[in-house]
Amino acid sequence: MQHAPRMMNWLFTATILTASSKFMQPLAQVAKTKTDQQKMQWWREARFGLFIHWGLYAVPAGEWNGNTNYGEWIRNNAQIPLGTYDKFISQFNPTKFNADDWVRMAKEAGMKYLVITTKHHDGFAIWPTATSDFNVMSTPFKKDPLKDLADACHKYGVQLCFYYSIMDWHHPDYLPRRDWETDRSSEGADFSRYVDYMKAQLKELLTNYGKIGVLWFDGEWEDTWTHEQAKDLYSYVKSLQPDIIVNNRIDKGRGGMSGFNRAGDFAGDFGTPEQEVPATGFPGLDWESCMTMNGNWGYNSHDQNWKSSADLVRTLIETASKGGNLLLNVGPTADGVFPQPSIDRLHDIGTWMSVNSASIYNTQASPFKNIDFGYCTQQVMPGGTRLYFQVTKWPADGKLVLPAMGNTISKAYTLAEKTSLKTSKANANSIIDLQGVQQQPYATVIVAEIKGKPVVYAEPVIEAPATIFIDQLPVNFKTNIPGAIVYYTTNGKDPANTSAQARSMVLRKSATIKAACFLNGKQISTVSTASFEKVTPVAAQEVSPPSGGLQFASYEGKWDKLPDFSSLSPAAMGTLANFDISMKRGKEEYAFVFDGWIRIPLDGVYTFYLTSDDGSRMFLNDQLIVDNDGLHGEIEKAKDIALAKGYHKIKVQYFERSGTDNLEVSWKGPGIPKMRIPDVVLYREN
């Protein structure tokens, strides 16, 4: 934001910035070689796969002791003793299993690969492994379904892939035990022996069934599994099949259901968001959203909460439009058949894909930030780019107004009938006339071909370290439009080509900034808006000479959200150096409250980050600052606050229900990069 000679409180410096994206680096961000890129190519082109969760958990079909909401986690969640669960072996007899039917349905749905659970957390092997009797040959079925699936995949040209759980509730050497397994002693257990067992099973899987496209790990979150073990296992798997693709759940880099959260040199070739399509995808990174059709991964005969075919098709489109793959799940019955609602949805998806798959396969993420009428994917073609617009909201006037871009459409047509369509231009927006176009179920694909790469006329980015400040705040503008000039205002009006020209700036008073891009004197982008507030830092508090560390209280109970701790009695109390839950790590159904003081080194704006699985809250000076409460996977939330130098009261609450447990409390401030809050600034009163 530039020259405003009338405003004495603005200080300006030179140069407009070119847009550049900052992304987390959660995978093994060792630069991939050309060979590595080639190994990933088939998977990137495929975009769509079938996930199959099938094992002993299909026998109880989601029901235990009158409770009907279980799935593949039934042994853990219903706390079924091992001896009782093992009896499902004699009941697993999928006489209706037909691998040809399964793979054919995947093929006809437009799926390019198939991932099946060879061993889930319950430890049951769906193939005749020589490493254990806890496998399919101990059932009345006594056949190898993986061999049949390998043959069927070869027949239909579908790539076979395997899921494998690192966590194992059955093997005597796997640690830790479940909290409730009082009948299973861990005495004599040797986790290194369990790792050898895993490698032996993986060797069978990767040598007996031909080429395996993906090895999809899971259950990596317990503390017994380490980053070093993950790196070793990754190398071992690659030694057996060098071209295999391995997901990031082999290592410790995944942060909860979002699939990406932690920076570092973690093993894995792609990220794994679960039950969600990330809001912006992960530009520059490979990722795959896995998702159920109803509420469970494993078969539950009572779960009729099915997503509609329309929702599933649009989820596939949305995933592709953000540069990811979709792995859509089916939970077969204990008889070996897909539930009929799954079959119906696969058929509906296949009907749409039979006409529109070109807009999904071998495409890249949309070049546009937002499209109000649907989605977009793009594909490189000789001399230009093919833009596929998946229209889910039909324009009332039959005119499809495309997002502003600098390219001219050379050809437009329907993907279904290849009908040529008329185009026109209004300022920076191209318009496609849809008169006479027959709408397709779920989404109608309109193709626009342009020369070169898309030149998107996106609004400029207004960037600052925070939205609040004490004395001054540096503000930058970013645009990637060649030759564009950014103009801004601070008076609430939209910018014009007579407004101040944007450059880098230092803000010294509260303001709402509006900015837009102009080319040859004409506005070519929408307006971006950002508000910044000058604030007074919260005063420090007087405190008697404190001691290092925090006071803590731990609690035991089962909650869906943070309880009223004032009404509960602690199970334990004491002092700790930091916000540390390690004494309970790997357990379930517990909570912590940490109380103390934090010493702020300088007046300034500080960002506090709270990462947890499950819920957490942070209070400063008795005011709620970060609310990350609720039953959820690992999520990070943050808040900016201006604080004066000195001591400030701090409280963090946390609870864990089931699954992964984690709590991380971090900060960033003047001269302090984002980091875990160090022990040396945490205190408690004597």
Answer yes or no: is pLDDT of 30 > 90: no
Q: What is the pLDDT of residues 557-575, one digit of tens each?
A: 999 999 999 999 999 999 9
Taking only the tens place, the pLDDT of each residue in 155-173 is 999 999 999 999 999 999 9
Q: Residue 266 above 70 pLDDT?
A: yes
Q: How confident is the model at residue 262 (pLDDT cuts 50, 70, 90)?
A: low
3-state secondary structure 364-396: ECCCCCCCCCEEEEEEEECCEEEEEEEECCCCC
Given a contact cutoff of 8 angstroms between Cβ atoms, the answer to whether 660 and 667 are in contact is: no
Does residue 175 belong to any structural domain of this protein?
yes
Most confident region among 221-225, 323-327, 478-482, 506-510 by mean pLDDT: 323-327
State the angle between helix axes of 340-356 and 309-321 in degrees (0 to 180), rounded to the nearest 10: 50
Per-residue model confidence (pLDDT) at position 50: 98
Q: Give pLDDT tens digits for 197-233.
A: 999 999 999 999 999 999 999 999 888 999 999 999 9
Q: What SS3 string covers 233-261? A: HHHHHHHHCCCCEEEHHHCCCCCHHHCCC
Residue 3 lies in a domain: no
**Greater pLDDT, 552 or 635:** 552
Can you give the CATH number for the domain in which 403 is found?
Answer: 2.60.40.1180
- Does position 259 have pLDDT exceeding 90, yes or no? no
Query: Cα–Cα distance between 392 and 375 in angstroms, integer?
Result: 8
Region 439-462: mean pLDDT is 96
638 bridge partner residues: 609
Q: Could you tell me if 384 and 488 lie in one domain?
A: no
Domain membership flag for residue 406: yes
The candidate with the shortest Cα–Cα distance to 26, out of 268, 229, 289, is: 268
Cβ contact 521:534 at 8 Å: no
**Statement to judge: residues 194 and 253 lie in one domain:** yes
Structure tokens at 423: 């185009």
Q: Which helix (H) or strand (E) holds 551?
A: strand 550-556
Alpha carbons 416 and 394: distance in angstroms, whole number: 16
Asked if 152 and 64 sit in the same domain, the reply is yes
Query: What CATH number does residue 568 fall under?
Result: 3.90.182.10
Q: Residue 254 pLDDT > 90, yes or no?
A: no
Residue 13 pLDDT level (bands cut at 50, 70, 90): very low
Give Cα separations from 261 to 27, 52, 465, 481, 522 (angstroms): 9, 26, 20, 30, 41
Domain boundary at 451, 470, 491, which? 451
Output the pLDDT for position 260. Answer: 66
**Residue 684 pLDDT class (50, 70, 90 cuts):** very high
In a shared domain, residues 95 and 236: yes
- The answer to whether position 219 is within a domain reads yes
What is the band of 427 on the pLDDT scale with cuts at 50, 70, 90? Answer: confident
Q: 3: pLDDT confidence band, cut at 50, 70 and 90?
A: very low
Answer for the pair 434, 447: CB distance below 8 angstroms, yes or no.
no
Q: Please state the three-class secondary structure of 40-95 as a single string.
A: HHHHHHHCEEEEECCCHHHCCCCCECCECCCCCCHHHHCCCCHHHHHHHHHHCCCC
- pLDDT (average), residues 288-302: 97
Q: Are residues 527 and 422 in the same domain?
A: no
Q: Which is it for strands 662-669 and 672-676: parallel, antiparallel or unpaired?
A: antiparallel
Judgement on whether residues 416 and 519 belong to the same structural domain of the protein: no
> For 297-323, what is the mean pLDDT?
98
Question: How many CB atoms sit inside 10 A of residue 164's CB?
Answer: 21
* Domain closes at, from 467, 502, 534: 534
Beta bridge partners of residue 517, listed in sequence order: 486
Q: Which residues contact 595 (CB under 8 A, 6 or more apart)?
A: 550, 551, 552, 650, 651, 684
Residues in a beta bridge with 600? 646
pLDDT at 633: 81
* Residue 325 belongs to some domain of the structure: no
pLDDT in tens, 88-111: 999 999 999 999 999 999 999 999
Same domain, residue pair 384 and 259 = no
CATH of the domain at 147: 3.20.20.80
364 part of a folded domain:
no
- pLDDT value of position 660: 77
Same domain, yes or no, for 248 and 109? Answer: yes
Look at the chain and report how many structural domains it folds into.
4
Encoding tokens for residue 217? 């790990």
In a domain, 652, yes or no: yes
pLDDT in tens, 77-89: 999 999 999 999 9
- 507 and 645 in a single domain? The answer is no
**Contact between 657 and 684 (Cβ < 8 Å):** no
Q: For residues 665 and 609, give the distance between their C-alpha atoms in angstroms, rounded to a whole number.
A: 6
**CA-to-CA distance for 578 and 588, rounded, in angstroms?**
21
Cα 614 to Cα 77, 202, 626, distances in angstroms: 16, 32, 14
Same domain, 176 and 113: yes
- Minimum mean pLDDT range among 9-13, 502-506, 551-555, 644-648: 9-13
Shared domain for 397 and 512, answered yes or no, is: no
Distance CA 620, CA 635 (A): 20
Which residue, 431, 451, 471, sits at the end of a domain? 451
> What residues make up the domain containing 77?
48-277+285-304
β-pair type (423-426, 429-433):
antiparallel
Residue 369 lies in a domain: no
Q: What is the CATH number of the domain that holds 501?
A: 2.60.40
pLDDT at position 320: 98
* Shared-domain flag, residues 169 and 271: yes
**Mean pLDDT over residues 322-345, rounded?**
98
